[in-house]
Amino acid sequence: MRTVGVEEELLLVSERTGEPLAVSSAVLASAALGTEEQEEVFEKELHQEQVEFATRPVSAMDELEEVIVRCRAEAGRHAERAGARVAALATSPLPVEPSRNLGSRYHWLAEQYGLTVQEQLTCGCHVHVSVESDEEGVAVLDRIRPWLYPLNAISGNSPFWQGRDSGYSSYRSRVWNRWPSAGPVELFGGADRYHEVVGEMLATGVLRDQGMVYFDARLSHNYPTVEIRVADVCLEPRTTVLVAALVRGLVETAARSWRAGEPPARVPVGLLRLASWRAARSGLDGPLVDPVTMRERPAEAVLESLVAHTADALRDSGDLELVRKGIADLVAHGGGARRQRRLYEDGLDLAEVVRACARITTEVP
């Protein structure tokens, strides 16, 4: 069975005001004291108001949820020592002027990209799924392209931006796509072409290194995995697990299709960009672009199509019922974006929304 690992980025916020706090150095210093005992890794990100953790690869989704819950709790304990809380919010609901972390790489980014860097206090969720080779990995990338954007709708958890409602379920994804290498990509046809394109991109001088190849889905340059990068960080661990299960189902379905000699759908990048925008705008509360027809359909119908597309792989991994139940719960009750808006509509101010989401982030299911 293919293994799965998850990277989650979390906001560091004030318990009192809900505002992001630039304390990642203190949080990571606290986390470093326990590195010999833990298998998960805590890392800094672009801004000092956030921290990232990466889980070890696992095979079972219940184990993945346990690891995510433990990592969030551990991040919360380290944050408390620095006078902060962690919040699984993909953007800050409150206005913020983030503080860039020190280091030559981050300095280069600021010099190269200007205001885009200042705007990137965003928190995503990246899912890694094991592949047997680069050739299999690129075959997967070619075949999952149109299926990525329902995952963004499922994970949407960034309705607020700089103190106001953005009108989007995932405004994070709109901000993230300001990077020049971000977003959907062409069909590659094989690993050689993939690496050739990446090499050509680096040769332009616009990107610093392979870590800046911000495709919606890419070969990891550190692990033998494909890395799917479209999701917001999810408010609740069970939504992260749902996304991870679907990603593994998509990867396995695509690999089987490749082995059977079935060609990938030749969907133009322009249509994929529209599907990406629609998922970010609507989330689960409006239409999505169907990955098969590339026409708008109700979100629930598109999610049903996603489950049908991956059903054999999900059944073989034992994840089919988990996915069906997870999607039914989201359709009925909404994900992070709807929950944030509901808290605000119920009379909480944005600081109280942040504090409520911080409690949700680290609570034990």
- Closest C-alpha among 212, 278, 235, 269 to residue 88: 235
Say what the pLDDT of residue 93 is.
Answer: 98
Q: What is the mean pLDDT of residues 257-268?
A: 98
What is the chain's mean pLDDT, rounded?
96
What angle is formed at CA 57 by the lines to CA 54 and CA 63, rounded to 5 degrees? 95
Alpha-carbon separation of residue 217 from 45, 126, 161, 327 (angstroms): 20, 9, 25, 22
Task: Give percent of the chain with pLDDT exceeding 90.
Answer: 95
Q: What is the mean pLDDT of residues 344-356?
A: 97
Do 223 and 137 touch, CB atoms closer than 8 A? no
CATH number of 4-362: 3.30.590.20
Say what the pLDDT of residue 32 is.
Answer: 86
Residue boundaries of the structural domains of the chain? 4-362
Q: How far apart are CA 19 and CA 13, in angstroms?
A: 5
Q: How does pLDDT run across 64-112, given as a tens digit for each residue?
A: 999 999 999 999 999 999 999 999 999 999 999 999 998 999 999 999 9
Question: Which tokens hold the place of 273?
Answer: 């960009």
Confidence of residue 41 (pLDDT cuts 50, 70, 90): confident
Q: How far apart are CA 259 and CA 301, in angstroms?
A: 28
Residues 6+ apart with CB under 8 A from 217: 141, 144, 145, 148, 226, 227, 228, 229, 230
Q: What is the mean pLDDT of residues 326-347?
A: 96
Do 99 and 49 touch, CB atoms closer than 8 A? yes
Q: What is the mean pLDDT of residues 235-246?
A: 98
Say what the pLDDT of residue 33 is.
Answer: 81
Q: Using the Cα atoms of residue 147, residue 150, residue 154 and residue 159 in order, give the sign of their dihedral.
A: positive
Do 327 and 227 touch, CB atoms closer than 8 A? no
Residue 328 region by backbone torsions, left for phi larger than 0, else alpha for psi between -120 and 50, else beta: alpha
Query: pTM, whole model, 2 decimals?
Result: 0.96
DSSP 145: G
- Closest C-alpha among 153, 151, 129, 150 to residue 141: 129
Flag whether pLDDT at 142 surpasses 80. Answer: yes
Alpha-carbon separation of residue 260 from 3, 254, 256, 264, 321 (angstroms): 22, 10, 6, 11, 26
Q: How far apart are CA 72 and CA 169, in angstroms?
A: 23
Beta bridge partners of 12: 86
Say what the pLDDT of residue 330 is.
Answer: 95
Residue 176 region by backbone torsions, left for phi larger than 0, else alpha for psi between -120 and 50, else beta: alpha
Confidence of residue 251 (pLDDT cuts 50, 70, 90): very high
Confidence of residue 36 (pLDDT cuts 50, 70, 90): low
Q: How does pLDDT run across 170-213, given as a tens digit for each residue?
A: 999 999 999 999 999 999 999 999 999 999 999 999 999 999 99
Say what the pLDDT of residue 38 is.
Answer: 61
Flag whether pLDDT at 35 surpasses 70. Answer: no
Say what the pLDDT of residue 34 is.
Answer: 64
- Closest C-alpha among 243, 331, 259 to residue 64: 243
